[in-house]
A and B are shown apart, each in its own frame.
Chain A
Amino acid sequence: MSGQNKVILERLGRPHRSKPDMPFHALFIGLTGFFILLIVGLLAANASFTSLDDIRTALADDAIFASVRLSLVTCTITAFLSLLFAIPAGYVLARYRFPGRSIVDAIVDIPIVLPPLVVGISLLILFNQTGPGRAIEDWFVSFVAWCNSTVPWLMDLLGLSRIRGITYDVPAVILGQFMVASAFAVRTMRVTFDQIDPRREQVALTLGCSRGQAVRRVVLPEARRGMVAAATLAWSRAIGEFGPILVFAGATRMKTEVLPTTIFLELSVGNIEAAVAVSLVMVAIALAILILARSLGLWTGRDHELQ
């Protein structure tokens, strides 16, 4: 054995004393605990500032009740629309290889990084100051008129029968929510499709499926959990959206007022009790949706869990 080897073996032969794990556990658990406490603290602070009577009084107000209803309807429509666009967009970004793909990928993320007010101003300019935007608004007005004459009960049920245009009306609320929420949904669906082995799709093609059939029968059932996650994310982004809605839809009571707008309006007139009560109502709705979506996600993802 050479002298150098002997030295190496002597040094490596000494008993190794690794550092204790306790500081690691303490740091990670401590930071997690602090984070959870911060969130619970926020909610507790809100709860201590209001009472059940304040919440009851707030909900008895026609304008606030209308805002709860509009929030629920617009968020649901936004989540549905976001998923409708996120599925194909996520699939294209995950599966297709084409020149400029990274640019398209970056464009999809723009609404996530843009300040909310900028999204609102951009929507306002697009629909008020450009030819194509005005043409879309004209077409939309005729479409609503057609819906009102064809399915008046559905339009009444959803509270959409009084729509007279896009800007400063309910569609502006939905578009404002959609612009940001859909970007999150696309990102979620892209990751979902990335994680699904393309080989299964290829096998489906050899079994006789067209590309569309392979996606519908093989890929989408596997993507169910991602779809639930994307819709939930879009919904929860939509319910908190404020900036684009304020600029593009305005803050008109009983017309374009959604829950964040209500909080803003109540705060602006110094009615802090009502603002906090509405905040808690928002938290309760958001929590209910999250719990529902999580249980639905776990249920639809059962097969993958097992695997």
Chain B
Amino acid sequence: MIELDAISIRAGSFHLDGVSLKVSKGGYTALMGRTGSGKTTLLEAICGLRGVESGTIRIAGQDVTHARPSQRGIGYVPQDLALFPTMTVARQLALPLSIRRLDKRFISERVDNIASMLGIGDLLNRRPSGLSGGELQRVALGRALSFAPSVLCLDEPLSALDDETREEICGVIKRVQEEVEVTVLHVTHSLKDAEMLADATLTIREGTIVPLQEETA
């Protein structure tokens, strides 16, 4: 589903050279690595938020290396969640649908479905300010999934949560991933999160991606 072939990225003095990666359809892959190893940079390149110097990015077999972020069909949850402070939860979930000019009835039904799947039905008229950490995570997840993307990229979305909420959100992510059959690439520092969620765990070291077992061996 996600295929990176010899990707090279340059961002100031930092660079990644010849990175290759394969995530199979419907799989949940965790990507680990030290701070500054380029995990977030790679995720941004996959989402189209950062240009690549060379190499190919394929999503569902389509070459999207030079496609705009809006054309890649990737749901993205950044570390700080980047929720829109002026919008209600309902409007955040509806934004990707209204951009696609879908009819209001469909949008309303879809928002209700996503909200009930994530347990945020009673928050639809609230704005992000005042929501708890766990509620914010659910809203960000719902926003990224509302347009039914084939791929979901998560950039350490659980890092700011307490242990209890973290476990709760891990459960939600896993359940939702199985329910909507989305392919997930999850950047994390936490081996615990990776073990709890991922089918495969990769690590990025000196610009090369290897399975975690090989790295620790």
| A199 and B99 form a contact (CB under 8 A) | no
**Given A207-B99, A208-B147; 11 other pairs, CB 8 A cutoff:** A202-B76, A203-B82, A204-B95, A205-B49, A206-B48, A206-B144, A208-B100, A209-B70, A217-B95, A218-B84, A303-B129
Q: Does A162 contact B (CB under 8 A)?
A: no
Residues of B near A199 (CB, < 8 A) are 78, 80, 82
Number of interface residues of B (CB under 8 A): 30
Tell me which residues across on chain B come within 8 A of A221, comparing CB atoms.
84, 86-87
Give CA–CA (A255, B86) in the complex, Å.
Answer: 44
B31 contacts the other chain (CB 8 A) = no
- Kindly state whether residue A210 has any CB partner on chain B within 8 Å: yes
Chain B window 44-87, contacts with chain A (Cβ cutoff 8 Å), 1 for yes, 0 for no = 10011100000000000000000011101011101010111111
Give the tally of cross-chain contacts (CB within 8 A). Answer: 75
Check A208/B99 contact, CB under 8 A, given A222-B85, A222-B86, A304-B85.
yes
- Give B140's nearest chain A residue, CB to CB: A203
Return chain B residues, CB-CB under 8 Å to A304.
85
Contact B82 A206 (CB under 8 A): no
Cβ B86 vs Cβ A303 within 8 A: yes
For the complex, is A128 an interface residue (Cβ under 8 Å from B)? no
The 9 closest A-B pairs by CB, nearest first: A307-B129, A205-B69, A207-B96, A221-B86, A206-B76, A199-B82, A306-B129, A208-B99, A200-B82
Known A202-B49, A205-B48, A208-B100; contact A197-B86, beta-carbon cutoff 8 A:
no
With CB as the reference atom, state the residue of chain A lying closest to B98: A217
Q: Chain A residues in contact with chain B, CB under 8 A?
A: 197, 199-200, 202-210, 213, 217-218, 221-222, 224, 303-304, 306-307
- What is the minimal beta-carbon distance from B10 to any residue of chain A, in angstroms? 14
Q: Tell me, in angstroms, the Cα distance from A206 to B75 when the chains sit together.
A: 7
* CB of B44 to closest CB in A, whole Å: 8
B69 touches A197 (CB 8 A): no
Distance from A73 Cβ to chain B, minimum over Cβ atoms (Å) = 32
* Inter-chain contacts of B95 with A (CB < 8 A): 204, 207, 209, 217
Query: Which residues on B are within 8 Å of A, measured CB to CB?
Result: 44, 47-49, 68-70, 72, 74-76, 78, 80, 82-87, 95-96, 99-100, 127-130, 143-144, 147
Chain B residues, CB < 8 A from A307: 85, 128-129
Residues of A with C-beta under 8 A to B48: 205-206
In the complex, which residues of chain A have a beta carbon less than 8 angstroms from the beta carbon of B78? 199, 202-203
**Is there contact, CB below 8 Å, between B49 and A206?**
yes
Are B100 and A202 neighbours in the complex by a CB distance under 8 Å? Answer: no
A206 touches B99 (CB 8 A): no
CA distance A51 to B174 in the complex (A): 76
Complex interface: chain A residues within 8 A of B47 (CB) = 202, 206
Q: Quote the shortest CB–CB distance from B84 to chain A (angstroms).
A: 5
Q: In whole angstroms, how far apart are the Cα atoms of A199 and B129 in the complex?
A: 17
The distance in angstroms between the C-alpha atoms of A200 and B78, with both chains bound, is 9
Q: Which residues of B contact A222 (CB under 8 A)?
A: 84-86
Cβ of A39 to closest chain B Cβ, rounded Å = 35
In the assembled complex, the Cα of A208 lies from the Cα of B107 at a distance in Å of 15
A306 / chain B contacts, CB cutoff of 8 Å = 127, 129-130
Contacts of A218 in B (CB 8 A): 84
Is B69's CB under 8 angstroms from A206's CB?
Answer: yes
The residue of chain B having its C-beta at the shortest distance from the C-beta of A217 within the complex is: B95
Residues of A within 8 A of B85 (CB): 222, 303-304, 307
User: A210 to B101, alpha carbons, bound, how many Å?
Assistant: 13
Instruction: Identify which of B44, B83, B96, B127 contacts A208 (C-beta below 8 A).
Output: B96
